[in-house]
C-alpha cells in the first residue's frame, strides 16, 4: 500500500526573545535583544499509508501543532523532508491544498455573519466543486451530522458543537484525500463528541480518507484510531497500535494512598514483577495508611504516566524493533 504521508528527519526551530530581570536589563534589551532557540520539532520521522487514521498526541508544547502545520503547508521545516499526497506542502501549497482538509478546533473557517449554508457555498466556489458532487456531499454530511435544523442559521447563533460540525463539513466538501483534525472535539459535550467520532470513522471506512487526529481526549483516540504516534519535547517516542501499548502496560497499576495525617501519595508498580500482596505488605510496614484506592490502568492513565515519566517507552520500542 502506498504511503500518503512521508516525514523524514524533520526539524523546526523558533527563536524566543530572552527577558532579563531588572530595569537596567530591560532597557538594554530594547537595543541589544538576546534570543534563545527552542526546538519545537526535533528530528521526527514517520510514514502514513493511504486510508490510515492515526492519533497524533503529546503533552502541551510537545510539537504536535507545529508538525501538523508543517504537514498542511502553513509552516516550512528548517531541516528534513516532507511529502504529502505526492506534494511538498510548503513549496506546492496552491496545488496541494486542493487535496487536503484541515480543522483547527479553536479556530473556525466559517464566516461568522453568514448562514452556515452560505459558508458551504463559499467553499464550493473556492475549491471549484462540481455542483453534483457538492450536492451529494452536502446531503450526506448534513444527514450524518444531523445538521438540517441549523444549516440556515447564522454561524454566530450556533452552539460550539453545531459550529464544529459545520467546520468539519466545510473541510470535507471537496472530498480531500487527507484530513488533519486538530482538537475537533475540544469543549464539546458527550453527544456532540460521539457524533463527530462516528462521522470521522465513517469517512475513513467508506472513502479511505487518510486522517491525522490530534487531541487531548484519549476517548477520541480509542474510538477512532488504530495507530498512535506520541511525541514529547519535539521527539517521537512511540509509533504503534493502541492495543500494543495497552497490553504492554496493563500490568502497570497505580494506587492512591490516604495517610493518617491527611496527606495523599500516589504509587505506581508493575504487578508482573512485584505481586500486589508484596506491595501492600511493604506499604503498610512503612506508612500509616488510612485508605487505599486502586486506579485502573486504562489508556488515559497509561498516557498520563508516560507524559509524567512514570512509564518509559524505550523498552517497548526496543522490543518492537
Task: Supply 140's cell numbers.
Answer: 450526506
Tell me: pLDDT of 137 over 80. yes
What pTM does this model have? Answer: 0.79
Task: Supply 100's cell numbers.
Answer: 487536503
Q: What is the mean pLDDT of the chain?
A: 85
Distance CA 71, CA 82 (A): 7
User: Cell match 460540525: residue?
Assistant: 165
Give 110-123 pLDDT, tens digit per residue.
Answer: 988 899 999 999 99
Tell me: pLDDT of 69 over 80. yes
Q: Are 51 and 3 in contact (CB under 8 A)?
A: no
Average pLDDT over every residue of 193-197: 91
Q: Give the contacts of 266 (CB within 8 A, at least 6 positions apart).
A: 254, 255, 256, 257
Strands (E), 233-318: 235-241, 252-259, 264-270, 289-295
CB atoms within 10 A of CB 59: 17
Average pLDDT over every residue of 228-249: 87
| pLDDT for the residue 318 | 46
Within a 13 Å sphere around the CA of 199, how many CA atoms are in the beta-carbon half?
Answer: 26
Helices 116-127 and 160-172 pack at an angle, to 10 degrees, of 20
Amino acid at each position: 500500500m502506498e504511503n500518503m504521508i512521508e516525514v523524514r528527519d524533520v526539524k523546526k526551530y523558533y527563536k524566543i526573545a530572552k527577558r532579563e530581570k531588572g530595569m537596567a536589563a530591560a532597557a538594554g534589551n530594547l537595543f541589544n535583544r538576546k534570543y534563545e532557540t527552542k526546538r519545537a520539532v526535533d528530528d521526527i520521522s514517520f510514514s502514513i499509508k493511504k486510508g490510515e487514521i492515526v492519533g497524533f498526541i503529546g503533552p502541551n508544547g510537545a510539537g504536535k501543532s507545529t508538525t501538523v502545520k508543517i504537514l498542511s503547508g502553513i509552516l516550512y521545516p528548517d531541516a528534513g523532508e516532507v511529502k504529502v499526497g505526492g506534494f511538498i506542502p510548503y513549496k506546492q501549497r496552491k496545488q496541494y491544498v486542493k487535496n487536503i482538509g484541515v480543522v483547527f478546533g479553536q479556530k473556525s473557517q466559517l464566516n461568522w455573519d453568514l448562514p452556515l449554508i452560505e459558508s458551504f457555498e463559499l467553499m464550493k466556489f473556492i475549491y471549484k466543486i462540481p455542483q453534483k458532487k457538492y450536492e451529494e456531499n452536502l446531503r450526506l454530511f448534513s444527514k450524518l451530522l444531523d445538521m438540517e435544523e441549523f444549516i440556515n442559521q447564522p454561524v454566530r447563533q450556533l452552539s460550539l458543537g453545531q459550529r464544529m460540525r459545520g467546520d468539519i463539513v466545510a473541510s470535507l466538501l471537496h472530498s480531500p484525500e487527507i484530513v488533519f483534525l486538530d482538537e475537533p472535539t475540544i469543549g464539546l459535550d458527550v453527544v456532540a463528541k460521539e457524533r463527530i467520532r462516528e462521522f470521522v470513522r465513517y469517512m475513513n471506512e467508506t472513502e479511505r480518507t487518510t486522517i491525522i487526529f490530534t487531541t487531548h481526549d484519549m476517548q477520541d483516540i480509542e474510538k477512532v484510531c488504530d495507530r498512535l504516534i506520541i511525541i514529547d519535547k519535539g521527539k517521537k517516542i512511540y509509533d504503534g497500535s493502541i492495543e500494543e501499548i495497552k497490553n504492554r502496560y496493563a500490568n502497570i497499576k497505580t494506587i492512591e494512598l490516604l495517610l493518617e495525617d491527611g496527606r495523599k501519595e500516589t504509587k505506581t508498580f508493575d504487578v508482573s514483577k512485584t505481586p500486589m500482596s508484596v506491595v501492600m505488605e511493604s506499604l503498610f510496614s512503612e506508612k500509616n495508611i488510612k485508605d487505599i484506592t486502586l486506579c485502573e490502568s486504562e489508556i488515559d492513565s497509561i498516557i498520563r504516566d508516560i507524559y509524567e515519566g512514570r512509564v518509559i517507552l524505550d523498552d517497548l520500542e526496543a522490543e518492537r524493533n
